[in-house]
């Protein structure tokens, strides 16, 4: 309702949907967006896993996670409007339909793959004596 109050508002403009190619804010290719989303999600999950680990100082996780997510958004909004979360991508895509739904698969595959890789990396660096 708020967005539609702007003169010239149109869902076809994207409504902050994630996209690649002509629907990327910076015109980035499918490959570039795939790599960006995968890497950003991977690092976001590493931040979450590290900040919430029992070996991390208590009470600082929200600061690390929030600052990490801010940096991720600053880096990747120009590339793809930033996903790192399939639910965040799905909502706007359902409103926009058309091209946003046809590109939605990438914004499910990349974050899930990035999260899996982050989990494997984090597990590889766990203390084996615990």
Residue 61: CB atoms within 10 Å: 16
Whole-model pTM? 0.83
Q: Is the dihedral of CA 127, 42, 65, 85 positive or negative?
A: negative
DSSP annotation of 2: -
Domains of the chain: 25-125 (1.20.1080.10)
Measured between alpha carbons, how far is residue 21 from residues 18, 27, 36, 46 in Å? 11, 5, 14, 28
In terms of DSSP H, where are the helices of the chain? 30-51, 61-80, 86-96, 98-103, 106-124
Residue count (the chain) = 130
Distance (Å, rounded) from C-alpha 40 to C-alpha 47? 11
Residue 126 pLDDT: 77
Ranges of residues in the chain whose predicted pLDDT is under 70 = 1-4, 9-15, 127-130
Residue 17 pLDDT: 80
């Amino acid at each position: 309702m708020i967005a539609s109050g702007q003169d010239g508002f149109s869902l076809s403009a994207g409504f902050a949907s994630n996209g690649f190619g002509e629907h990327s804010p910076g015109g980035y290719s499918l490959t570039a967006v795939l790599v960006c989303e995968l890497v950003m999600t991977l690092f976001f999950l590493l931040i979450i896993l590290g900040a919430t680990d029992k070996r991390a100082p208590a009470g600082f996780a929200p600061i690390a996670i929030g600052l990490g997510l801010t940096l991720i958004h600053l880096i990747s909004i120009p590339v793809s409007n930033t996903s790192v979360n399939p639910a965040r991508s799905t909502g706007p895509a359902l409103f926009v339909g058309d091209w946003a739904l046809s590109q939605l698969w990438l914004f499910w595959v990349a974050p899930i793959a990035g999260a899996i890789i982050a989990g494997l990396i984090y597990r590889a660096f766990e203390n084996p004596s615990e």
